[in-house]
Amino acid sequence: FVKSSVIQGTQPEDDSDQEDIDAKDILKRELQDERKTLPIYKFRDELLKAVEEYQVIVIVGETGSGKTTQIPQYLHEAGYTAKGKVACTQPRRVAAMSVAARVSQEMGVKLGHEVGYSIRFEDCTSEKTIIKYMTDGMLLREFLGEPDLASYSVVMVDEAHERTLSTDILFGLVKDISRFRPDLKLLISSATLDAEKFSDYFDSAPIFKIPGRRYPVEIHYTKAPEADYIDAAIVTVLQIHVTQPPGDILVFLTGQEEIETVDEILKHRTRGLGTKISELIICPIYANLPTELQAKIFEATPEGARKVVLATNIAETSLTIDGIKYVIDPGFCKIKSYNPRTGMESLLINPISKASANQRAGRSGRTGPGKCFRLYTTYNYMHDLEDNTVPEIQRTNLANVVLTLKSLGIHDLVNFDFMDPPPSEALLKALEQLFALSALNSRGELTKTGRRMAEFPLDPMLSKMIVASEKYKCSDEVISIASMLSIGNSIFYRPKDKQVHADNARLNFHTGNVGDHIALLNVYSSWKETDYSTQWCYENYIQVRSMKRARDIRDQLEGLMERVEIEICSNASDLDAIKKAITSGFFHHSARLQRDGTYKTVKNPQTVHIHPSSGLAEVRPRWVVYHELVLTTKEFMRQVTELKPEWLVEIAPHYYQLKDVDDSGTKKLPKGHGRAAL
Ligand code: ADP
Ligand code: MG
């Protein structure tokens, strides 16, 4: 590493403030004392005065200054919660949960009572809740039931700099309601200094700066680019552990898989070193990490040991972990990108922006001088990194928000008050897609189907699949499938020493080449038959936790079915009916087998492949519908089911013509393929 620059910071002054002792609750008192050591504490009164005076304020403060945990409590203490709830939005579910847990501790109340959180499929709030942490997507959905947010007195849009799609839409909506709800206070808070832009957007709202507490951070770069950043990160962790003074390490990785790999390798290598080195405590943190493990990153490191936190972008600004002295930044993150022409969305590993790199470095200098090891060169930093990340609204499929906005009665999307407008091509594509799904009519108005779809907190394709299940009388099966699909990729597990057993267990659910959707249904139904047995999950190499989550989601979908008045009926023996319901939602995702054994998507032809984990990977039916595309070494279709081409024309006549599904060109198929059991 070459030491190249030092970001100078200001030293904090010591602030000790003794409080009367309340013997009742020692933990609470300790936490109350801790609250007063946060940088924001000195600005408490000034901040409250500003809130009183202005309707909208932009708040800027270094990560860890106390914005997220303290401001809602200050507002509560100042009486705002007597007039309505305080909402605080977070772009990430883990952040919403973790911060709510912390604040409930600080206030000495049970999580879910006065302080709660609401994330998709998990509502941990009650009648009593006055401070509500929630994902930005959930607040967006609250507009559907309460268009003026009448039950809220303050809305704090936190982590505004992240510029997620939901946050950007929220900006427009809260700005709009603030005009006819002068009593509603709006706080826009951000960890970065692009506050001017927020202020301009909110009609020159005043900017409140919380001076950061930042110690100097030494930045080190590699001399040459790293061929394998995972390996480089592991080596750097071990080097720091062996050569550097005490202090915890934070490593930024791009996702769960990378984190698990690094976790495993680190465990293996440190085991090899035995007692020659001090203990290294490895703590992963990512969105799908089970709740009980999430708290581990906040536990104090025992004397003599060192903690290494393996985190996704979540630790960049959303979560503050105390005690970090060393940051390892490989310079990458997963970013969604969208091609409005083809309608294809993909999650790709991309270089981060300079703004991100600086945020990451800053994480090491919060409680003392820190060091940041960038696994790229100074040249890379200067010339290859963009200044800022492009807002999500400009690189994503907009069908979901367009449907939400339409349900809110916002028809003129082109003139919606976007902070940065989406590409008009993407808006158009979203309208087209919703029209093809029959959610909108030809005048762009919401249909009955569209209104029903909007009730589900799911992607339009999934909600359409559910709504269509009414017609095919298989809603019972389809909501099970939808719940299983919503879990993501963590249903089956495959221990290294039992891979054959695990694979056999998995194949059992695919008997008859039913396709992956029906296989998921088989898993769910079989589990239900055993009365949700944990033992059964073990025997079948299925993650109990994921199944329980699927059951939770399914319960909620069942509730929503009642709301949209779709009866739950079962049609388990008619697989074609179930597949037609799936196709009704996912007909955009159809592909046809080619002579060379690859697939081509039917509209906007692109070469794709069946993911090796699919039950149909070897079968290769001639026509398939898939749940999603993932790009790893190739474009893979994940969760694949066979379909009959005539269904496409029958189900989506606006989208497919007979010529699209003409089969005559594909006579010479590879032997043995193209004929799965339908
Ligand atoms: P900001 O929003 O300005 O980045 P926060 O309010 O999130 O700051 O953090 C303030 C302090 O609260 C930090 O010292 C952080 O370590 C602590 N904190 C936040 N969440 C938790 C948690 N779940 N457990 C323990 N400490 C936490
Ligand atoms: Mg925060």
Strands 324-329, 370-374: pairing kind:
parallel
Query: Mean pLDDT over residues 230-257, rounded?
Result: 95
Q: What is the largest CA-CA distance in the chain?
A: 85
Tell how far the Cα of 161 is from the centroid of ligand 1, in angstroms: 18
pTM comes to: 0.90
Q: Which ligand is nearest to the CA of 67?
A: 1
Q: What is the dihedral of CA 572, 574, 578, 584, to 10 degrees?
A: -150
pLDDT, position 206: 96
In a mutational test of the pocket of ligand 1, which residue from 27, 69, 73 has the highest number of ligand atoms less than 8 Å from its CB?
Answer: 69
Atom of ligand 1 nearest to the CA of 70: 6
Tell how far the Cα of 323 is from the centroid of ligand 1, in angstroms: 12
In a mutational test of the pocket of ligand 1, which residue from 102, 213, 291, 360 has the highest number of ligand atoms less than 8 Å from its CB?
Answer: 102
**Whole-angstrom Cα distance, residue 301 to residue 68?**
24
**Whole-angstrom Cα distance, residue 260 to residue 441?**
46
Q: Which ligand is nearest to the CA of 62?
A: 1
Q: Which amino acid is at 678?
A: L
**CB distance 395 to ligand 1 below 6 Å:** no
User: Is residue 101 within 8 Å of 357, Cβ to Cβ?
Assistant: no
pLDDT, position 1: 67
pLDDT over 90, % of the chain: 79
**CB distance 73 to ligand 1 below 6 Å:** no
Tell how far the Cα of 154 is from the centroid of ligand 1, in angstroms: 21
Tell how far the Cα of 435 is from the centroid of ligand 2, in angstroms: 39
Nearest C-alpha neighbor of 350 from the set 389, 406, 383, 381? 389
Tell how far the Cα of 11 is from the centroid of ligand 1, in angstroms: 20
**CB distance 63 to ligand 1 below 6 Å:** yes
Tell how far the Cα of 267 is from the centroid of ligand 1, in angstroms: 28
DSSP labels, 107-146: HT--BTTTEEEEETTEEE--TT--EEEEEHHHHHHHHHH-
Atom of ligand 1 nearest to the CA of 101: 23
User: Is residue 399 within 8 Å of 459, Cβ to Cβ?
Assistant: yes
**Whole-angstrom Cα distance, residue 358 to residue 159?**
16
Question: What pLDDT digit, counting tens, does each position of 3-50 carry?
Answer: 544 443 333 434 444 444 444 577 788 889 999 999 999 999 999 999
**Whole-angstrom Cα distance, residue 366 to residue 215?**
6
Helix axes 44-53, 67-77, angle to 10 degrees: 70
**Whole-angstrom Cα distance, residue 386 to residue 389?**
7
Tell how far the Cα of 89 is from the centroid of ligand 2, in angstroms: 10
Phi and psi angles of residue 280, each rounded to the nearest 5 degrees, phi first: -115, 115
Band (pLDDT 50/70/90 cuts) for residue 2 is low
Question: What pLDDT digit, counting tens, does each position of 493-510 carry?
Answer: 888 889 999 999 999 999
Structure tokens at 554: 């399914």
Length reported for the chain: 678
Q: Determine which helix (DSSP H) or strand (DSSP E) holds 626, and give its type and residue range.
A: strand 623-631
**CB distance 61 to ligand 1 below 6 Å:** yes
Band (pLDDT 50/70/90 cuts) for residue 459 is very high
Nearest C-alpha neighbor of 493 from the set 536, 532, 540? 540
614: CB partners within 8 A, 6+ apart:
516, 637, 638, 639, 640
The average confidence (pLDDT) of the chain is 91
Tell how far the Cα of 274 is from the centroid of ligand 2, in angstroms: 38
Q: Which ligand is nearest to the CA of 63?
A: 1
Strand order in the sheet with 122-124: 122-124, 115-119, 131-135, 85-90, 152-157, 185-190, 56-61, 207-210
User: Is residue 386 within 8 Å of 354, Cβ to Cβ?
Assistant: yes
Query: Mean pLDDT over residues 430-440, rounded?
Result: 96
Torsion 205-387-158-338 (CA) sign: positive
Each residue of 64-75: b (16+ CB within 10 Å) or e?
A: bbbbbbbbbbbb
DSSP labels, 204-226: S--EEEE------EEEEE-SS--
Structure tokens at 222: 């590699």
Tell how far the Cα of 69 is from the centroid of ligand 1, in angstroms: 6
**Whole-angstrom Cα distance, residue 22 to residue 1?**
51
Sequence-ordered strand ranges (E) for 241-352: 248-252, 280-285, 306-311, 324-329, 332-339, 344-351
User: Is residue 188 within 8 Å of 204, Cβ to Cβ?
Assistant: no
Query: Which value does ipTM take for this structure?
Result: 0.98
**Whole-angstrom Cα distance, residue 533 to residue 45?**
54
Query: Mean pLDDT over residues 506-521, rounded?
Result: 95
Query: Mean pLDDT over residues 129-135, rounded?
Result: 98
**CB distance 102 to ligand 1 below 6 Å:** yes
**CB distance 322 to ligand 1 below 6 Å:** yes
Q: Is the pLDDT of residue 345 over 80?
A: no
Band (pLDDT 50/70/90 cuts) for residue 340 is confident
**CB distance 64 to ligand 1 below 6 Å:** yes
Nearest C-alpha neighbor of 343 from the set 406, 284, 397, 403? 397
User: Is residue 626 within 8 Å of 585, Cβ to Cβ?
Assistant: no
Strands 248-252, 306-311: pairing kind:
parallel
Kindly report which listed range (165-179, 261-275, 576-590) carries the lowest average pLDDT score: 261-275
pLDDT, position 14: 42
Atom of ligand 1 nearest to the CA of 40: 3
Nearest C-alpha neighbor of 587 from the set 438, 368, 428, 374? 438
Tell how far the Cα of 398 is from the centroid of ligand 2, in angstroms: 27
Q: Which residue has the tokens 């979908």?
A: 557
pLDDT, position 15: 41
Strand order in the sheet with 370-374: 2-7, 217-221, 370-374, 324-329, 248-252, 306-311, 280-285
Kindly report which listed range (24-33, 82-91, 205-214) carries the lowest average pLDDT score: 24-33
Structure tokens at 534: 């944990």
**CB distance 299 to ligand 1 below 6 Å:** no
Tell how far the Cα of 64 is from the centroid of ligand 1, in angstroms: 6
User: Is residue 150 within 8 Å of 143, Cβ to Cβ?
Assistant: no
Query: Mean pLDDT over residues 386-403, rounded?
Result: 94
Tell how far the Cα of 148 is from the centroid of ligand 2, in angstroms: 26
**Whole-angstrom Cα distance, residue 393 to residue 45?**
36
Q: Determine which helix (DSSP H) or strand (DSSP E) holds 57, and give its type and residue range.
A: strand 56-61
Band (pLDDT 50/70/90 cuts) for residue 277 is confident
Atom of ligand 1 nearest to the CA of 65: 3
**CB distance 34 to ligand 1 below 6 Å:** no
**CB distance 298 to ligand 1 below 6 Å:** yes
Question: What pLDDT digit, counting tens, does each position of 585-607 carry?
Answer: 999 999 999 999 999 999 888 99
Band (pLDDT 50/70/90 cuts) for residue 664 is low
322: CB partners within 8 A, 6+ apart:
64, 298, 366, 367
Structure tokens at 577: 């009916």
Q: Which ligand is nearest to the CA of 65?
A: 1
Structure tokens at 675: 């004929």
Ion ligand 2, residue ranges at CB < 5 A: 68
In this structure, the residue with its CA closest to atom 17 of ligand 1 is 320
pLDDT, position 287: 86
Q: Is 86 helix (H, G, I), strand (E, B) or coil?
A: strand
**CB distance 66 to ligand 1 below 6 Å:** yes
Q: Check residues 472 and 292 and name the one with the higher pLDDT.
A: 472
CA 444 to chain centroid: 29
Q: Check residues 446 and 23 and name the one with the higher pLDDT.
A: 446
Q: What is the dihedral of CA 428, 431, 434, 435, to 10 degrees?
A: -100
**Whole-angstrom Cα distance, residue 134 to residue 111?**
13
Tell how far the Cα of 298 is from the centroid of ligand 1, in angstroms: 9
**Whole-angstrom Cα distance, residue 352 to residue 389?**
7
Query: Mean pLDDT over residues 567-591, rounded?
Result: 96
Tell how far the Cα of 198 is from the centroid of ligand 2, in angstroms: 17
**CB distance 99 to ligand 1 below 6 Å:** yes
Structure tokens at 203: 């009609």
pLDDT over 70, % of the chain: 94
Atom of ligand 1 nearest to the CA of 210: 3
Band (pLDDT 50/70/90 cuts) for residue 214 is confident
**CB distance 307 to ligand 1 below 6 Å:** no
pLDDT, position 488: 80
- For residue 380, what is the DSSP state? I
Q: Determine which helix (DSSP H) or strand (DSSP E) holds 7, and give its type and residue range.
A: strand 2-7
Q: Which residue has the tokens 């001076």?
A: 211
Phi and psi angles of residue 598, each rounded to the nearest 5 degrees, phi first: -90, 175
Q: Determine which helix (DSSP H) or strand (DSSP E) holds 630, and give its type and residue range.
A: strand 623-631
Tell how far the Cα of 138 is from the centroid of ligand 1, in angstroms: 22
pLDDT, position 276: 76
Q: Which amino acid is at 173?
A: L
In this structure, the residue with its CA closest to atom 10 of ligand 1 is 66
Q: Is the pLDDT of residue 656 over 60?
A: yes
623: CB partners within 8 A, 6+ apart:
590, 591, 592, 593, 642, 643, 644, 645, 661
Tell how far the Cα of 41 is from the centroid of ligand 2, in angstroms: 15
Strands 607-610, 115-119: pairing kind:
unpaired
Q: Is 582 helix (H, G, I), strand (E, B) or coil?
A: helix
**CB distance 506 to ligand 1 below 6 Å:** no
pLDDT, position 662: 82
Question: What pLDDT digit, counting tens, does each position of 322-334 carry?
Answer: 899 999 999 999 9
286 burial class (0-12, 13-18, 19+ CB within 10 angstroms)?
Answer: buried
Atom of ligand 1 nearest to the CA of 69: 6
**CB distance 98 to ligand 1 below 6 Å:** yes
